[in-house]
Amino acid sequence: MKLIKSIIRPNKVDEVKDALDKIGIAGMTVTEVRGHGKQKGHTAIYRGKEYNIGLLPKMQIEVVVADSLLDQAVTAIVIAAKTGEIGDGRVFVTPVERSYKIRTGEREAI
């Protein structure tokens, strides 16, 4: 079982969601986040004064998938979230030890 944490452009959320739906991944958690990569944000202008916006708004999508689905899911996310420009985001994969359903208390085996 793996946790895929992808940090993507806010306007790519729907496309990533659709792509994951297509390969049968149902549950996900979406969070508004802020951050920057190598470029450290960009400059904006307010009343004639330039200033740096260091932390840019991004969306974080977390899904937990079975090991067998991992490669397929990561590929789907990368294709859907890609524009080819700076600021497309990152995908991180980490192992998940256990998973429980709160309603029933039952331990899941994905």
With binding defined as CB under 8 A, does residue 27 bind another protein?
no
With binding defined as CB under 8 A, does residue 51 bind another protein?
yes
> Applying CB under 8 A, which of residues 49, 98, 103, 107 lies at the interface with another protein?
49
CB of 43 to another protein, least distance (A): 10
* DSSP state letter for 108: P
With binding defined as CB under 8 A, does residue 14 bind another protein?
no
> Applying CB under 8 A, which of residues 27, 38, 45, 95 lies at the interface with another protein?
45
Binding site for another protein (CB under 8 A): 44-51
